[in-house]
Amino acid sequence: MLVLIPAMLAALVGSQWPDIMRYFKIRQMSQGKGHPEYVPAEGTTFYPQDPAVAAPDGTGEFESASRGGPA
């Protein structure tokens, strides 16, 4: 257990390292100490990148009726 927990924590931090660095660069930029060109555009994408996998407009989470729009 003394070796397993630090190894799991290191693997978690290592897998999220680009997102962690991007977060700190964005935070630094919002405090006026950074520059936008230093913030990498890469990051974790949560939306499907293949149009064949994506849902059509007006359905799913983006259904206008569920947001108070016309049905």
In angstroms, the CA 38 to CA 29 distance is: 9
User: Which pTM value belongs to this model?
Assistant: 0.45
Q: What values do phi and psi take at 10, rounded to 5?
A: -65, -40
Counted domains in the chain: 1
**Pair 20, 13: CB distance under 8 Å:** yes
18-57, pLDDT tens digit by residue? 888 888 888 888 888 777 777 766 666 666 667 776 666 6
pLDDT band at 70 (very low <50, low <70, confident <90, very high): low
pLDDT band at 7 (very low <50, low <70, confident <90, very high): very high
* Residue-number span of the structural domain to which 18 is assigned: 4-67
Q: What values do phi and psi take at 36, rounded to 5?
A: -60, -30
Instruction: Identify the pLDDT of residue 45.
Output: 63
Q: For residue 25, which amino acid is it?
A: K
**Pair 39, 26: CB distance under 8 Å:** yes
